[in-house]
Amino acid sequence: MNIDSPLPIPVIFLGSDAVLAGRLADCYAGITWGEEYRMVPRFDCRPAREWRAILPETGPGMVFVEITDAGTEGESRLIREIAEYNSGLQIVLLADDDVDYFQIATDFRIGNVIKKNRFDTAIVHALTIRLLTGNIFGFGPYFPGGFKVGPLYRTFSGHVSIETVIEECFQACKPHVNPDELSSFRIFIHELLVNTFSYAIEGISPEDRDSKLLRPRPEVDIAERRAIKISLVTDHEKVGVSVMDSTGSLSMLRVLQKLRRQSKIGSEKMPPGIWDESGRGMSMVYRYSRFIVNILKGVRTETIFLQYHEKDLNRFESIIITEVNPF
């Protein structure tokens, strides 16, 4: 093969749901892969028992594992065996609402979960780029047709008022948001910025936020090396907001824990953390927009949410979290 040729990479669905497999196949059939990523994903589907016959022993690849309401023991064993077989394989969970997919995600440090009845080509496209190229930061995976930057592209350092920052960001974004979504959009901005100021600037630990309900001071001094960067981008169908800090102090497990506390699974009458103060805002962003968390441990954290103009496209509840160690 010519060294400049795109690399074919296997993408495999392991499960028994033929309709689900067909939907995934349609997603991949509808994606055009540009030269920039130098890869061509090759989609196939197999029953879980045939995984050894289809997955490579070495090299990159991506595996969708169906998680059903029949229980998680078999799926856990399958995931463990795949990880031991080839550590280069990236795993995505396709989950029913009735199974505790958060437990499997936590046990195996899997930050990618999509609901079986709530995904589209855009999610599949973005996940594939993220997992097979390592291109996790920025808006590129979510705007394959390109995007317009601004009018908000700010770096905050020095002496700042948190509420002033929140209001400035909201007003800059307001003209680009569906009017019906403005109230929720402001809440999302508020929650992401308060979280960022708490962890990255004030150094409030997760435990203190939980037990003492600590929040950042109204006004803070941000060292230049700890600057917070906030940006807005747009295309014809959505807006994207990124909040990036310079500490990388958030963790995948923390995010998974908080989302689980605010999620009702199976026969639960209400989420176990219904009365929690911390984590509720993050869960709201996850539930009512497309929410992404990127963590380079000890270096930076980026939280992104995508707000589609068509309301129904926002409520997919996909978990997209990547945590990596610096070289």
Number of neighbours of residue 82 by Cβ within 10 angstroms = 22
Identify the pLDDT of residue 20.
94
Amino acid type, 21: A
Q: Quick one: pLDDT band at residue 13, thresholds 50, 70, 90?
A: very high
More confident residue, 150 or 302: 302
Q: From CA 144, how far away is CA 139, in angstroms rounded?
A: 9
Give the position of tokens 């031991």: 84
Radius of gyration of the chain from its Cα atoms, rounded to whole angstroms: 20
Top-ranked range on mean pLDDT: pick from 33-37, 81-85, 222-226:
81-85
The 3-state DSSP class for residue 172 equals helix
Amino acid type, 251: S
Which H or E element spans position 46? strand 39-46
Identify the pLDDT of residue 271.
86
Q: Rounded mean pLDDT of 177-195?
A: 85
Which long-range contacts does 19-24 make (Cβ < 8 Å, 24+ apart)? Answer: 20/66, 20/94, 20/116, 21/45, 23/119, 24/64, 24/124
User: Does residue 263 surpass a pLDDT of 80?
Assistant: yes
Partnered with residue 323 across adjacent β-strands are 295
Identify the pLDDT of residue 210.
56
Q: Quick one: pLDDT band at residue 246, thresholds 50, 70, 90?
A: confident
Identify the pLDDT of residue 212.
52
Give the position of tokens 């879980």: 48
Identify the pLDDT of residue 131.
92
Half-sphere exposure of 147 (CA within 13 A, CB side): 21
Domains of the chain: 7-133 (3.40.50.2300), 141-324 (3.30.565.10)
Identify the pLDDT of residue 208.
57
More confident residue, 160 or 23: 23
223 CB-near residues (< 8 Å, 6+ apart):
157
Q: Rounded mean pLDDT of 73-102?
A: 90
Compute the mean pLDDT over every residue in the chain, rounded to the nearest whole number: 86
More confident residue, 6 or 141: 141
70 phi and psi angles, rounded to 5 deg: -75, -10
User: Does residue 323 surpass a pLDDT of 80?
Assistant: yes
Least confident of 83-92, 98-107, 126-135, 275-284: 275-284
More confident residue, 165 or 65: 65
User: Does residue 161 surpass a pLDDT of 80?
Assistant: yes
Q: Quick one: pLDDT band at residue 33, thresholds 50, 70, 90?
A: confident
Identify the pLDDT of residue 258.
87
Which H or E element spans position 123? helix 121-133
Q: Rounded mean pLDDT of 60-77?
A: 84
User: Does residue 1 surpass a pLDDT of 50?
Assistant: no
230 CB-near residues (< 8 Å, 6+ apart):
152, 153, 154, 156, 165, 169, 193, 241, 242, 243, 244
Identify the pLDDT of residue 180.
83
Angle (CA) 253-259-265 rounded to 5° is 115
Q: What is the pTM of this model?
A: 0.88
Identify the pLDDT of residue 245.
86
